[in-house]
Amino acid sequence: ATPLDPAPQQARAADNGKVLTVAVAQSVDSLSPFLAVRLLSTSIHRLMYEYLTNYDPKDNHAIPGLATKWESSPDKLTWTYTIRSNSKWSDGKQATAQDAAWTFNQMMTDDGAATANGSYVGNFKKVTAPSPTELVIELKKPQATMTSLDVPIVPKHVWEKVSDFSEFNNDKSFPVVGNGPFTLTDYKADSYVRLKANKGFWRGAPKFDEVVFRYYKDQDAAVSALRKGEVSFVAGSPSLTPAQAASLEGAENIQVNDAPGRRFYALATNPGAKAKNGKKFGDGHPSLLDQRVRNALFMAVDREAIIEKVFQGHAVEGEGYIPPRFSQYYWKPSADQKLAYDPAEAARLLDQAGYKKNGDGKRVGKDGKPISYRVLCHATDPNDKAVGKYLQEWWGELGIGVQLNCLDNVTDPWLAGKYDLAFDGWSVNPDPDFVMSIHTCGALPETPEDTGATDNFICDKKYDELYARQLAEYDPAKRADIVQQMESRLYDLGYMNVMAYPNAVEAYRTDQIKSITTMPAKAGNIYGQDGYWSWWSAVPADSGGSSENASSTVVVAGVVAVVVLLAGLGGFAVMRRRATAEDRE
Amino acid sequence: MTADATPALVEKREPAAGPRVRKGSAYPRYLAGKVAGAAVSLLAVLVTSFFLFRLIPGDPVKTMTGGRQVSAEQLAAYRREFGLDLPLWRQFTDYCGKALTGDFGTSYQFRAPVVDKITEALPNTLLLTGTAFVLYTALGVFLGTRSAWRRGTVGDRFNTGLALTLYSIPSFWLGLLLIIVLSVGIGPLPGMFPTGGMESGGEEGFAYVLDVAHHLVLPVVTLVAVEYGQTLLVTRSALLDEMGGDYLTTARAKGLRDDLVRRRHAVPNALLPTVTLIFINLGRTVAGVILVETVFSWPGLGGLFYQALSVPDLPLVQGLFFVFAAAVIVMNTLADLVYPLLDPRVAR
Amino acid sequence: MSLLDVRDLTVTYAGGAAAVRGVDLRLDAGQKLGLAGESGCGKSTLALALLRLLPTGTRITGEVLLDGEDVLTMKWGRVRAVRWAGASVVFQGAMHSLNAVHRIGDQIAEPILLHRKATPAGAKKKTGELLEQVGLPAARADAYPHELSGGQRQRVMIAMALACDPRLIIADEPTTALDVMIQAQILRLIEQLVADQDLGLIMISHDLAVLADTCDRLAVMYAGRVVEEGPAVQVYEDARHPYARALSAAFPRIGDPASRFAPQGLAGDPPDPAALPSGCTFHPRCPVALESCAEEDPVLRGAGPRRRAACVLVGRPADGAGGAHEKPDALEEARPGTP
Amino acid sequence: MTTTTDTALSPRALARQRRRASVARFWRQYRAERAGLYGLTALTLCALLALFAPLFVGSDVSSVTDAPGRPMQSPSAGFPLGTDQFGRDLLGLVVWGSRVSLLVGLLAAVLSVAIGTLIGVTAGHFKGWYATVMMRITDWFLVMPTLVLAIALATVMSRSLTTTVVAIGVTTWPTTARLVRAQTLAVETRPYIERARALGGGHWHIMSRHVLPNVMPLVLAQTTLIISSAILAEATLAFLGLGDPTVVSWGGLLQDAREAGAVSAGDWWYLVPPGIAIAVVALAFTLCGRAVESVLNPRLGVSR
Amino acid sequence: MTMSPTASDVTTAPLLSAQGLYVTFPGRHGGPRARAVDGVDLDIRPGEIVALVGESGCGKTTLARSLLGLVEPTAGRVTFDGRPLEYSGRSLKAYRKRVQLVLQDPSGSLNPRHTVYDAVAEGLRIHGYGGDERAAVAEALSRAGLRPPERFFLRYPHELSGGQRQRVVIAGALVLEPELLVADEPVASLDASVRGEILALLLRLRTELGLSALVVTHDLGLAWNIADRVAVMYLGRIVETGAVEQVLTAPRHPYTQALLSVLPEAPGAPVVLTGEPPDPSRVPSGCRFHARCQILAGGEAARAGVADACRGQDLEVLSGSGESQVACHWAVSAAPPRGAGLC
Ligand SMILES: Nc1ncnc2c1ncn2[C@@H]1O[C@H](COP(=O)(O)OP(=O)(O)OP(=O)(O)O)[C@@H](O)[C@H]1O
Ligand SMILES: Nc1ncnc2c1ncn2[C@@H]1O[C@H](COP(=O)(O)OP(=O)(O)OP(=O)(O)O)[C@@H](O)[C@H]1O
Ligand SMILES: [Mg+2]
Ligand SMILES: [Mg+2]
């Protein structure tokens, strides 16, 4: 914002329309709804296709999507969805129950089609479409996710022609036929994804004419782009850094959205990995099997310092398992249950557990060797590394060594149980079932060779009982209560120590986006919602009409070219003159 | 020579063909040799890329499924799908066999043929490196020549000093600074260039070309800045080596003007040894562009490689590694092939 | 007016090395002058100075009158015109003196195009003729230097030197790197061409015997100075300066029993041009040095008909003509003994 | 000129004297290279700084829990270069980082040059299949894109300084090997090698007494030059997040800066000093290397 | 003075002897092999100085190198002191203590990084000399004429003049007290005035130490200066051999005649042979010189009736012994040796 600065580029004009540009740091893995798993791709699929149901932006409850209503048989094994008749594919054909049935059937019969969302249909017995507006799904056993089947419904008449679902990426011919609020019109790998508003969208046409997701490998570049107005919105990956947020907060025409996150950030402990068949594997440190040790370790972690120093306020201190955003399920330990920061008490606990300091001030394990824990961290996550540094120092004080194992890809040692502690974090869905389920014994892998749904191999009888109870409980309030009991149990076990709930820190230009729906509507996030609310609802700022961005590019390029040319010519002339002057030996 | 040749003061006859082989006959063989050598190198690279990346710890299939619940059967199915269930040597022969037909398999994370992913990104990388290459070579050769010819002058010292300094600067850092200064803009300086990417998207025709050019400026400037120094220094020292040459004294003795001596004799001779370097540089720049592509979000091979490594997306990593090494090999070979055409002294 | 008249030529390199120190030489058209002396005595420097080919920073004083015109004071444009058209050079190492990446025909044609303003076709024709003249088929014009043998390359250099019909050819060690037989070929060729075209020739070599055989007059240089000058055969067979004498003695005459098992040499090191001895530069090695030699630097003085030598023992001004008789004996005694 | 006429010198003393004389001569000539002197001065300062860093910054500069400042403070009297995202003093960190950067650069270069020299000398000396095999391997390494290979290696191994050193060392030796081999071949054609063989010298004698001393200047110059590129490579690897995250190095600081979003936040004090430090040290080594090269002029094989 | 002080008589057993020596090198670009030494017999008796002369590329150096075991002959053998040379490392080392090589280029023969002392002591160190190394080095240096030796100990080669360098090389050879010195063009790179000193040194060593020497050269004057016997080599083979006085004053082989005729001093018209030195990878059949032979071309051979033999009939390898021999159909058949004087 200096005199010379060409006025921040306005919402970009293309085909005389308003364009909303979103800077993203992730690249698209696939545009096929059957293959895509990355957040960016699935968010785009939300825009391209309707799902049976959607989530209410206010409180996350299931609301109609492609299905206008749904009911289940009393035994919860047969679900009947009524498909809306006012949704058309972008090629003009009507979207029907057949399309939905075909989509599910493909996923049930074709391994390739099951790649991304196969888990939803693993329990399906039969899916039929008795009429264009009626979809019937029969289950093998009850399934909690029947109103949150996050599966894009694709047009049968288009996808029928696909021969190999495992290799079809849906990115060759544009526009891509869909029925969501936007239609995909263009895509260039690692460059951009362009979507055009679906004027005939049943819920109402989006206000922007286009949404473009632009890829910035470098988050700083994305933030700079936002500053310049090249993009309208920056999400960051997973969120803007405190420094970026701080610097953007003061900037003109920029709104920083510091929303309570849906993630928790925890320190997971290896409880001794084992499979359902009882086989133990992995090599977690035996001392960690002692609850006192786990608790002591957590008590030596100053969560406040982490919030203050690492997240610089853009997070909330971690307590229970589920972030406070989901107020219904949120639980926090009572004062006496709470493992407050208390290094002295931690040391005492360790002494008590028999891990005493040796002459060098190192605590010694039962095997007589000084204890040093391998902490698995994500090399790509600065927070892991930062917190790791703190852990090193805090636990070092306790006499415990920390070896930070920062890897690009932690999956393998993780699944093999070859770690002692690990940085862990999940995005919590409106329905907590999934994040709760990953700590049940049932989630353990069948054998060490399988991959289970388990997070870090926790298997606790009491927790499992509670889990079973909440599954069967249909009264929301009672169910919430049980969930909170589970959280309490998890807290006490000390295998999963939540340190913080990081905020989602995003920013957008107010001179390009007048308003935008967050989710939850009150203090929520914009990017990566469980629906298409943000982009669908975004209202363009009424700036002085379409900008002359394209022409300003040309002007700048022209100026640069002229300057370069002049400099070159000038240099050449000078050189020629000197050359002739020095034409001696 | 026949026996009854009269011993004459001077021979009038062309001496019988000596051990030197004439151009016409030997070059094809030389060419064939070089090409065969390159092919062997490519094979070696193929082998390396296969084994090197098997060393990355981690079960690609488990990684691929990203910790989602997968049964042993499903894992086995995946292994089968990607041929990971076969013994290593079978995987290897399959891989080689397919690679020879240009099939590098399917990317684990993108679910697309590796070749497609590469051909998608390759032109972008080539555009970036090609432009930078032309510029830094021209700049390096031009300034190097001037420096050598005016050796010891202020201009020479400035030139070499600047080249050495830029050469010592980490390219990514320079890129970041350029973004801050020229892209974001500081002080009275407006942000003149896009912060990243290759295009704004949506432009057509000439506007598109301009748009890409606009995006190209900063990454190219970065590459040119860090790369031209080497060309400059090599050109300079090659020319300095040549400048002692007696043939230059001959040229001067013939009454040639100084600039003709330089243009016609010194520079062409000095540039010959640089040709190899120039080609090899191009090959290396293609591989070394990773950093610049990362900093400027350029949708090229570098970024792809980085993504592929972190999975590890074995087929993609292998394919990219092969492409990078092949770039160097191909350029080396081209240098080998071009050199004798330029320099009559080299074995033909 | 003689073709070339060098007067008191002094060359000092940028580093302070006085490579040529006050040389006077004269050469008439059609005459052949040999310039001998051991390595580093300044022969090449002298040759390069004649055409102002020395590197920048070299100080040159004196006069080089080429057909009466002083090369050293000419404008650069004129110097370039004189180069090759007036006087051309055959350098010692043909491999390095030819540009390895140009065809020899082009290299020969280059000065023709430059000085004679000939058409390319004309230059090509002339090139062919020149090559034939030095005994190479005209077709070899397409060859690159490395495709020729050492002797052939040296012939190309000679052809090139003849390209613009110069009045003077300076041949700087044209045969040094060559085999005896080839050396003989080249020498014959040069002699013949010089005789045919009535050129002035300055031939530089360290091989006194060769020069004596080829040239009319002979100048022997030592430490940047001509120490003896005179008719070639006389200087070779009966040198007046002790250095020239030692040099000629170093070339044994086959069949001469005196040199059987009696190699002649000169003890000591050649002087360093950057730190020359005081007085007569030869005195540290001189077998007949007098006390005064360490202080007095003798100038060239008459030593018989058309002969000059720079030694106090030669034609002492006081001695007059009689001096010429004494010296041989004095030198004879002073000859280094044979082991 | 050395004209000492001490008559009672043992050969060992002679050797020592000779070595001293040649070092003195080297230094005399080096002093004449202005750029080399600048480089050397800069290096000496850096080395001193790195060596004595514990004295004036203390090893707790890198401690996060005792960080004295608030995160991302801009430069002030208390923190001349501001603070990083933990509130640590950046000046101290840059000084402290010099230790790792220099150490890694040095070790990597030494490793690289050692491999290169060993292979170069032996491949140049022993002809035949050994040389062929060695040169094939070298060529093969030579076409491997260095950065890509280093990245791959760093990914394959765990993140630690050793990894960085090995990744740089293992990928950069082929140039040295080629140079050394070429030089060895050149030296081997020298008549003094023939003379040594005619005197009865064996392979070991020739390699250790003749070849090695003659390639040493080249190796010395090459080491200096490689250190400079190794420092850059270390920074690059750290910047790409492949370094050891727990140690403070310049490249690591740059990566921290970037991860903390310093670039777009405009926190130049976090970004500029480590970059300048890298550039200065790399430049200093390059200047020294070039000066050494020009003094020893290994291409001529004669030290004058 | 016509006879050398130690002119060896023909009957003493040779110290070094080459018998039927062949050395070939692989041809370039798969061409035919270069027959650098193509059948040579040569004896060197104790105390004798033999000069090996010939034009460039005729195989002189290769012969000298094979005599030292530096190249292994393709065929034939080298005998030293009655015992055939073995090519194992150990016996070669022992052999090289007794036979020494001095190369053409003294500057190149000295490692620029070694002082004079090191260069001279190198041989002693290689052979594990037990005595006082310093004294031995000093003695060798002063014997080679570098006096006082201590002044030179710490000098580097570049601080010496060419003649001094060659003396250092010779001292390095002498320090091992060899019996035979093979000198490959020992003065070719030296200034005319300096070379006499080195040659005088060689002669003095022969008188003082009884050293035998093979001096390789292309300079006939040098042979005249110091050798007892001369062997003229052409294209890998010795074509004429005999006492210096005889061969150089009354050459019998047309090649020797041509060589002598082109010397600047030589009386009569020079016989300038055409062309470049012939190619050892394509040795002509018959007499290997016939293609360039002025006698054959001039028709003299035809007159003597040997022209066909010259073109088609191979010549015997000359024996290594000292007597005067020539490998030429024409010289052997037709022409009786010309007068012994200088013609
Ligand atoms: N460019 C130069 N700068 C400084 N000194 C030089 C230069 N060129 C030659 N010299 C010195 O000048 C002296 C004379 O050199 P010059 O080349 O004229 O000798 P020369 O008689 O031709 O010797 P040679 O027979 O070896 O060719 C030598 O001592 C040499 O070291
Ligand atoms: N190592 C080698 N490999 C291949 N050919 C060789 C080798 N050494 C010598 N030759 C060839 O053998 C022939 C004889 O070479 P040699 O060096 O013995 O000749 P020379 O008589 O010493 O010549 P000069 O007088 O030039 O030193 C030459 O044609 C040469 O090209
Ligand atoms: Mg000269
Ligand atoms: Mg030889």
Residue B198 Cα to chain centre, angstroms: 20
Q: pLDDT value at position C226?
A: 92
Nearest to B75 among A214, A224, A451 (CB): A451
Q: pLDDT value at position B101?
A: 84
Residue D162 near residue D149 (C-beta atoms within 8 A)? no
> Using the beta-carbon criterion (under 8 Å), do A212 and B188 form an inter-chain contact?
no
E34-44 β-sheet, strand order = E34-44, E16-25, E75-80, E83-84
Q: Which of E23, E25, E105, E217 to mutate to test the pocket of ligand 2 (most atoms within 8 A of CB)?
A: E25
The pLDDT confidence band at residue A570, using thresholds 50, 70 and 90, is low
Nearest to B7 among E29, E272, E310 (CB): E272
Chain C nearest-CA residue for B346: C146
Residues with CB under 5 A from ligand 3 (ion): C 44
Task: Note the pLDDT tens digit of each residue in B114-154.
Answer: 898 899 889 999 999 999 999 999 999 899 988 888 888 88
Q: Give nearest CA residue, ligand 1 atom 12.
A: C19
Task: Note the pLDDT tens digit of each residue in C48-86.
Answer: 999 888 888 889 999 999 888 898 898 888 888 888 888
Residue B285 Cα to chain centre, angstroms: 4
Which backbone phi and psi does E40 adopt, to 5 degrees? -130, 130
Nearest to E174 by CA among A447, D199, D54: D199
Strand, coil or helix: what is D109? Answer: helix
Counting ligands in written order, which one lies closest to the CA of residue E189?
1
Q: Is the pLDDT of residue A441 over 80?
A: yes
Counting from 1 in the atom list of ligand 2, the atom nearest the Cα of E71 is 1
E263 touches chain C (CB under 8 A): yes
> Using the beta-carbon criterion (under 8 Å), do B3 and E281 form an inter-chain contact?
no
Alpha carbon distance C249, C259 (integer Å):
9
Mean pLDDT is lowest, of A268-277, A474-483, D260-269, for: D260-269
Which residues of chain C are within 8 Å of residue E195 when distances are taken between CB atoms?
A: 250, 263, 265
Chain E nearest-CA residue for C262: E225
Task: Note the pLDDT tens digit of each residue in B250-275.
Answer: 888 888 888 888 888 888 888 887 88
E27 touches chain B (CB under 8 A): yes
Mean pLDDT for the stretch of residues A360-383:
87
Chains that touch A (3 or more CB pairs under 8 A): B, C, D
Q: pLDDT value at position C23?
A: 92
Give the angle subtended at the CA of B12 by the CAs of B8 and B13, to the nearest 5°: 115
Task: Note the pLDDT tens digit of each residue in A131-170.
Answer: 999 999 999 888 777 888 889 999 999 999 988 888 888 8
Q: pLDDT value at position E341?
A: 36
Q: pLDDT value at position D117?
A: 93
> Using the beta-carbon criterion (under 8 Å), do B255 and C97 form an inter-chain contact?
no
Q: pLDDT value at position B8?
A: 29
Buried b (16+ CB within 10 A) or exposed e, C151-168: bbbbbbbbbbbbbbebbb
Chain D neighbours among E 185-244 (CB < 8 Å)?
none
Counting from 1 in the atom list of ligand 1, the atom nearest the Cα of C274 is 29
Chain B nearest-CA residue for C155: B10
A451 touches chain B (CB under 8 A): yes
Residue C218 near residue C235 (C-beta atoms within 8 A)? yes
Q: pLDDT value at position B17?
A: 30
Q: pLDDT value at position E275?
A: 66
Chains B/E: 3 or more C-beta pairs closer than 8 A? yes
Which residues of chain D are within 8 Å of residue A25 when distances are taken between CB atoms?
A: none
Of the segments B242-246, C121-125, D28-32, D64-68, which one has the largest average pLDDT value? C121-125
Q: Using alpha carbons only, how large is chain E's radius of gyration in Å?
A: 21
C96 touches chain B (CB under 8 A): yes
Alpha carbon distance B340, D25 (integer Å):
42
Q: pLDDT value at position B347?
A: 53
| CB-based pocket (< 6 A), ligand 1 | C 13, 15, 17, 19, 37, 39-45, 55, 206, 273
Counting ligands in written order, which one lies closest to the CA of residue E52?
2
Of the segments A99-113, A236-250, A439-453, which one has the largest average pLDDT value? A99-113
Nearest to D140 by CA among B329, B331, B323: B329
Counting ligands in written order, which one lies closest to the CA of residue C271?
1
Counting from 1 in the atom list of ligand 1, the atom nearest the Cα of C46 is 18
> Using the beta-carbon criterion (under 8 Å), do D72 and A242 form an inter-chain contact?
yes
Q: pLDDT value at position D261?
A: 82
Contacts of D29 (CB under 8 A, 6+ apart): D295
Task: Note the pLDDT tens digit of each residue in C117-159.
Answer: 888 899 999 999 989 888 888 888 888 888 888 888 888 988 8
Contacts of A433 (CB under 8 A, 6+ apart): A144, A145, A471
Nearest to C180 by CA among E279, E234, B12: E234
Which backbone phi and psi does B328 adopt, to 5 degrees? -65, -45
Q: Which residue has the higher pLDDT, E206 or C94?
A: E206
The pLDDT confidence band at residue A576, using thresholds 50, 70 and 90, is low
Chains E/D: 3 or more C-beta pairs closer than 8 A? yes
Chain C neighbours among B 114-173 (CB < 8 Å)?
none
Alpha carbon distance B250, B242 (integer Å):
13
Chain B neighbours among C 290-319 (CB < 8 Å)?
none
DSSP secondary structure letter of residue C55? P
Q: Which residues face C219 on adjacent strands?
A: C35, C229
Q: pLDDT value at position C330?
A: 42
Alpha carbon distance E151, E134 (integer Å):
13
Q: pLDDT value at position A8?
A: 41
Q: Is C299 exposed, middle or buried (0-12, 13-18, 19+ CB in 10 A)?
A: exposed
What does each C-alpha distance from D246 to A382, A389, A471, D263 come to in angstroms?
12, 7, 44, 22
Which residues of chain A are within 8 Å of residue D256 when distances are taken between CB atoms?
A: 382
Instruction: Name the packing angle between helices B267-288 and D146-156 (round to 10°).
Output: 30
Give the angle subtended at the CA of B11 by the CAs of B8 and B14, to the nearest 5°: 150
Q: Which residues face E19 on adjacent strands?
A: E77
The pLDDT confidence band at residue A561, using thresholds 50, 70 and 90, is low
Which residues of chain B are within 8 Å of residue D146 when distances are taken between CB atoms?
A: 284, 287-288
What is the nearest CA distance from C132 to chain B, expressed in angstroms? 8
Task: Note the pLDDT tens digit of each residue in E171-192.
Answer: 999 899 899 999 998 888 788 8
Chain A neighbours among B 119-148 (CB < 8 Å)?
120-121, 146
Token pair belonging to D34? 């202005």
Q: pLDDT value at position D112?
A: 93
What is the nearest CA distance from B321 to chain D, expressed in angstroms? 7
Q: Which residue has the higher pLDDT, E135 or C333?
A: E135
Residue B67 near residue A415 (C-beta atoms within 8 A)? yes
Q: pLDDT value at position E320?
A: 80
Nearest to B176 by CA among B297, B91, B345, B30: B297
Counting from 1 in the atom list of ligand 2, the atom nearest the Cα of E26 is 4
Chain D neighbours among E 95-134 (CB < 8 Å)?
96-97, 100-101, 103-105, 108-115, 117-118, 121-123, 126-127, 133-134
Q: Is the pLDDT of residue D121 over 90?
A: yes
Mean pLDDT for the stretch of residues C166-195:
85
Chain B nearest-CA residue for D282: B168
First to last CA, chain A: 55
Q: Is the pLDDT of residue C203 over 90?
A: yes
Q: Which of C11, C41, C46, C205 to mutate to test the pocket of ligand 1 (most atoms within 8 A of CB)?
A: C41
Q: Which residues face C12 on adjacent strands?
A: C18, C59
Which backbone phi and psi does D93 adopt, to 5 degrees? -65, -40
Residue identified by tokens 């060992």 is D12
Q: Is the pLDDT of residue B237 over 90?
A: no
What is the nearest CA distance from B30 to chain E, expressed in angstroms? 11
Q: pLDDT value at position C62?
A: 92
Q: pLDDT value at position B68?
A: 63
What is the nearest CA distance from D209 to chain E, expressed in angstroms? 9
Alpha carbon distance D265, A241 (integer Å):
9
What is the nearest CA distance from C52 to chain A, expressed in angstroms? 10
Residue C194 Cα to chain centre, angstroms: 15
Q: pLDDT value at position B67?
A: 59
Strand, coil or helix: what is C222? Answer: strand
Which residues of chain D are within 8 Å of residue E108 when distances are taken between CB atoms?
A: 190-192
The pLDDT confidence band at residue A10, using thresholds 50, 70 and 90, is very low
Tell me what percent of the residues of chain D surpass a pLDDT of 90: 15
Q: Is the peptide bond before A520 cis (omega within 30 degrees of 0)?
A: yes
Task: Note the pLDDT tens digit of each residue in D138-197.
Answer: 888 887 777 778 887 777 777 788 888 988 888 888 888 988 988 898 888 888 998 999
Task: Note the pLDDT tens digit of each residue in A478-498.
Answer: 888 999 999 999 999 889 899
Strand, coil or helix: what is A385? Answer: helix
Token pair belonging to C79? 């110097």
Contacts of E333 (CB under 8 A, 6+ apart): E304, E305, E306, E309
Strand, coil or helix: what is C172? Answer: strand
What is the nearest CA distance from A223 to chain B, expressed in angstroms? 9
Residue B71 Cα to chain centre, angstroms: 45
Strand, coil or helix: what is B179? Answer: helix
Tell me what percent of the residues of chain D surpass a pLDDT of 70: 94
Provide the whole-model pTM.
0.82
Q: Which of E61, E218, E222 to mutate to test the pocket of ligand 2 (most atoms within 8 A of CB)?
A: E61
Residue identified by tokens 């030869």 is C282
Mean pLDDT for the stretch of residues C223-233:
91
Q: pLDDT value at position E233?
A: 92
Chain A nearest-CA residue for D84: A243
Residue A318 near residue A498 (C-beta atoms within 8 A)? yes
- pLDDT by 10s per residue, chain E, length 343: 344 444 445 567 889 999 999 999 887 766 788 899 998 999 999 989 999 998 888 899 999 999 999 999 999 999 998 889 888 888 888 999 999 999 888 888 898 888 899 899 999 999 988 888 899 999 999 888 888 888 888 888 888 888 888 889 999 998 998 999 999 988 887 888 888 888 888 898 899 888 999 999 988 888 998 999 999 999 999 999 999 999 998 899 999 999 898 888 777 788 888 766 778 888 888 888 888 888 888 888 888 888 888 888 888 888 888 788 898 888 887 655 444 333 3
Task: Note the pLDDT tens digit of each residue in B9-24.
Answer: 222 222 333 333 344 4
